[in-house]
Amino acid sequence: MIPAISSTNGSTPSDLQRSGGVAFTWDVAPFLLDVLLDTDSGGPDALPLERWQEAGVLEVIKTGRHRTVYRLELSGGLSGSSLFIKRYRAADWKARWRRRVRGATARREHRSMVAVAELGIPTADVAAVGGPLWPGHDRDSWLVTLGVSDAQPLDELLAEAGPGIESTMRKEVLGQAAGILARLHDGGLWHGDLHAGNFLLQCSPGNRPRLVLIDLYPVARCRPTTARRLAGLARLAATLGSSVTPSERWLFLREYMETSAEVESDEVTRREWARALGPLFYRRRERRWRRLDRHWSRGNRRLLIADSDQAACRGLAFLGQRQLEHLRDRLAAVPPPDGTTVPLATGRGAVMTRLLRFDRGTDGESAREAWELGHALWRRDLPVARPWLFVETARHGVLAVSVPDQAVPLAQWHDRDSIEQDVDVLLERIVRAGLSIDDLGTDQLLVDPENHDRPLLLLPTWMGKAG
């Protein structure tokens, strides 16, 4: 009988069947042995990647200098399930030296996953791990995990551009994330790169939503001091996105302290931790902004590039390459009037966007500059009508932004006195984020009467150059 492939109980080394030698060894779940390995030797080339690619069942999710991630769709008795395959490489002498001294990266991550599962934290099951058993070998390593069913990345669900999650569920999910972090710290485990994208939210009919922790590299063992706990809290809180309010961050801290078995959770201690956490959170968030700016300028997995000979085009990865190329050709040939609404398919439902025209020969920014400004504001957790794509030719440019139908420019709002304080606070936040507001006018400030928590929305059509 084939075991459930979507469970998240963690896989210990004793659950896996070993083959190969010391220089390179495969440990594979017995029920997947015939599915994964193509040779009996168990060498580094045992995974038939080329055959899977030719069959159209293997997809590259992301790739970089040191790691490539594939998704393998299974067939036969496991039809409808998937495996995620990570290949760890060493692209420079430092990485090669590091894995000689510390051992295979995939095996280190596997040990971290076992340690996390022993703390009662849900994580993905390991289907296979391949690489040298001991340090001293300069070899690539592989980690294969079972796909988590009915799950989506938490960072995408917390983003305001997509359908997202409701406020009540968001509070429950943030409480679960805080509880997971507290149990990690109580167990002496510190994740060196923990962010909202390391969590999957599993929602199945009839069950409560559940967070699953993935990507457990790098993880180190440290003594759980107060300073380390606050630094870990600030790191994760800074990645939760602009939809999380200050009051929800307070709930996040309170849930962490109540879950931890080693931290006092009385009112006085909570307020002391909150005062200490504030500066750490803001410094971590600003550091994250700068890193994301550099990452965005190089291009990343959330961005699609669809340039042609006639037009430059960028779009969010949610749109898919085929839809983006179709829109590029359509908008470059016949640009529609300013304010035209266009629905975009995202894979999670349609998003209604408004098109903004930027004709050449007029003063002001171009469609590409508005695209860059919009995402710079988004990365800094400022309320902005997020751009979904832009198309720019030698004569004109078009930008698609997500604007609520009920939003109106500030100049047309009947009760400006009621939001005057919100305007002042927002302008101060823009300046603190390093962006200019010299030519920011009332046309770029939109009022959303249905959003009482965040009534203002920025339209990125001013020259907001970084200071």
Pairing of β 151-153 and β 189-191: unpaired
pTM for the structure as a whole: 0.76
Judgement on whether residues 194 and 294 belong to the same structural domain of the protein: yes
Q: DSSP labels for 168-226?
A: HHHHHHHHHHHHHHHHHHHTTEEETT--GGGEEEE--TTS--EEEE----SEEE----H
Residues 420 and 436 in one domain: yes
Residue at 81 is within a domain: yes
For residues 403 and 430, state if they share a domain.
Answer: yes
Angle at CA 108, nearest 5°, toward 31 and 36?
25
Q: Are residues 269 and 355 in the same domain?
A: no
205 lies in some domain: yes
Nearest to 101 by CA among 144, 64, 132: 132
Domain membership of residue 263 (yes or no) is yes
Task: Kindly report the CATH number assigned to the domain that includes residue 216.
Answer: 1.10.510.10
Residue among 224, 220, 223 at smallest CA distance from 263: 224
Q: What is the pLDDT of residue 13?
A: 58
Statement to judge: residues 401 and 365 lie in one domain:
yes
| pLDDT tens, position by position, 289-337 | 888 787 776 666 678 889 999 999 999 988 989 999 999 999 999 989 9
Is 309 within the bounds of a domain?
Answer: yes
Task: For residues 48 and 162, state if they share a domain.
Answer: no
Domain final residue, candidates 249, 266, 298: 298
Residue 4 domain-assigned (yes or no): no
6 token code pair: 């979507």
What is the pLDDT tens value at each position of the chain, 467 positions in all? Answer: 334 444 455 555 558 888 877 788 999 998 888 888 876 556 777 889 989 999 999 988 888 888 999 999 987 767 678 999 999 998 889 989 999 999 999 999 999 999 999 999 999 999 999 999 999 998 999 999 999 988 888 887 886 544 456 778 888 999 999 999 999 999 999 998 899 999 999 987 778 889 999 999 889 999 999 999 999 999 999 998 766 778 888 999 999 999 999 999 899 999 999 999 999 998 998 888 888 787 776 666 678 889 999 999 999 988 989 999 999 999 999 989 998 999 999 876 788 999 999 987 555 678 999 998 998 888 887 889 989 999 999 999 999 999 988 899 998 888 888 888 889 989 988 887 878 888 888 889 999 888 777 789 999 988 765 44
Q: Which residues pair with 60 in a beta bridge?
A: 70
Q: Identify the CA nearest to 124 among candidates 23, 6, 270.
A: 6
End-to-end CA distance of the chain: 63
Q: Are residues 343 and 446 in the same domain?
A: yes
* 430 and 395 assigned to the same domain: yes
Q: What are phi and psi of 233, to 5 degrees?
A: -65, -45
Q: Is residue 466, in this structure, part of any structural domain at all?
A: no
Could you tell me if 138 and 250 lie in one domain? no
- For the purposes of burial, counting CB atoms within 10 Å of the CB of 3, is it exposed (0-12), middle (13-18) or buried (19 or more)? exposed
User: Could you tell me if 196 and 136 lie in one domain?
Assistant: no
Neighbours of 164 (CB within 10 A): 16
Residues whose CB falls within 8 Å of the CB of residue 357, separated by 6 or more in sequence, listed in order: 335, 337, 338, 396, 397, 398
Query: How high is the pLDDT of residue 186?
Result: 96
User: For residues 328 and 308, is the Cβ–Cβ distance under 8 A?
Assistant: yes
On whether both 453 and 320 belong to a single domain, the answer is yes
2 belongs to a structural domain: no
Total count of domains within the chain = 3
> Would residue 465 count as lying in a domain?
no
Which of 108, 126, 146 finishes a domain?
A: 146
138 and 57 in a single domain? The answer is yes
Decide which of 114, 131, 146 is a domain's last residue.
Answer: 146
Which residues span the domain enclosing 177?
Answer: 151-298
Rounded (10°) CA dihedral 174, 180, 182, 188: -150
- Tell me: the pLDDT tens digits for 53-104? 999 999 888 888 889 999 999 877 676 789 999 999 988 899 899 999 999 9
